[in-house]
């Protein structure tokens, strides 16, 4: 009999991760399902060794949960089928693939192969959606602070607007794409993307295709003052900000490094790292993780 191993993040969905994951009980009424708290899993190789070829993993959570999984399973051969059930507050990954995936349970194994790597402070991380640097990193840091003081849902749009008007100061930046340097002043955003969506529905790089694995894309929003940036900023939720070529530029390549002239918070799929001055992203090499495609 096929067994579904349902891996849930209890912290997802403002602490309702387990409750939301248990919604799947009705779906698997006639099949065996085992619920496992992801926070208690310290050895995925051991877990995978118990799986039969017909079994499946179901990941329940949001973007941060998926990020945790792809980093904690790095270097392992993934089991036959991996499904995703979105229970988080941030579901940008699902939004990006929704046109082909629909809703409910989604098979995502092919999206987990050939992921880009970001290097921050000498440590490497894989990521699914994007690396945010600038006011987006500031918003994640502020959101983390608010979650620590209140149970109310975090309004990232409100944080961004207040940041643009009062709190966040733009930086000067050097962006190097495949060895070519470009210098920018008054940089507000400099995320590098694997997919199109991040930050709760923003579309910084509308043409980036997460299945086009050999390139990543960086948006540089720069050179404008507070008021103009505030006026253009909402259009990033539709991807139309790129029409403002005087202040928004998208760069694509295999190797991208972004350097700021002062420490700024950075986020990787919604997970915050404070006080960062630079990061480097390397797109996946063709053939990387090929053994996963044929496993099982």
Domains of the chain listed by start with CATH number:
3-112 (3.40.50.10330), 117-282 (2.60.200.40)
Percentage of the chain modeled with pLDDT above 90: 59
In 74-183, which residue ranges form alpha helices assigned H by DSSP? 92-101, 135-147, 156-162
Q: Where is 186: in which H helix or E strand?
A: strand 180-189
The residue to which tokens 């502020």 are assigned: 142
In the chain, which residue ranges form alpha helices assigned H by DSSP? 12-15, 17-21, 44-49, 63-72, 92-101, 135-147, 156-162, 226-232, 290-294
Closest by CA position to 282, among listed 204, 215, 218: 215
Q: Which residue has the higher pLDDT, 296 or 225?
A: 225
Average pLDDT, rounded, for the chain: 88
Q: How confident is the model at residue 174 (pLDDT cuts 50, 70, 90)?
A: very high
Is pTM beyond 0.85? Reply is yes
pLDDT at 41 over 70: yes
Backbone angles phi, psi at 226, to 5 degrees: -60, -50
Q: With contact defined as beta carbons under 8 Å apart, do 27 and 105 qualify?
A: yes
Q: Count how many residues are written for the chain.
A: 296
């Amino acid at each position: 009999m096929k067994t579904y191993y349902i891996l849930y993040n209890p912290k997802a969905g403002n602490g309702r991760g387990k409750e939301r994951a248990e919604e799947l009980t009705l779906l698997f009424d006639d099949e065996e399902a085992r619920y496992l708290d992801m926070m208690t899993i310290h050895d995925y190789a051991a877990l995978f060794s118990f799986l039969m070829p017909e079994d499946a993993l179901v990941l329940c959570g949001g973007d941060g949960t998926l990020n945790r999984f792809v980093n904690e399973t790095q270097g392992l051969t993934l089991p036959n089928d991996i499904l995703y059930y979105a229970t988080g507050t941030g579901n940008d990954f699902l939004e990006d693939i929704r046109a082909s995936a629909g809703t409910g349970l989604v098979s995502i194994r092919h999206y987990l192969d050939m992921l880009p790597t970001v290097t921050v402070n000498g440590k490497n991380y894989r990521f699914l959606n994007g690396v945010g640097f600038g006011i987006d990193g500031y918003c994640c840091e502020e959101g983390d602070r608010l979650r620590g003081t209140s149970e109310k849902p975090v309004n990232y749009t409100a944080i961004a607007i207040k940041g643009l008007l009062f709190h966040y100061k733009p930086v000067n930046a050097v962006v190097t794409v495949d060895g070519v340097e470009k210098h920018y002043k008054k940089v507000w955003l400099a995320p590098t993307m694997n997919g199109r969506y991040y930050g709760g529905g923003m579309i910084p790089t509308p043409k980036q295709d997460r299945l086009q694995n050999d390139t990543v894309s960086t948006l540089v929003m720069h050179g404008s003052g507070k008021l103009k940036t505030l006026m253009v900023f909402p259009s990033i939720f539709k991807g139309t900000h790129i029409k403002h070529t005087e202040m928004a530029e998208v760069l694509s390549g295999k190797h991208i490094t972004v350097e700021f002239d002062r420490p700024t918070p950075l986020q990787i799929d919604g997970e915050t790292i404070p006080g960062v001055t630079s990061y480097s992203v390397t797109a996946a090499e063709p053939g990387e993780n090929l053994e996963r495609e044929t496993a099982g």
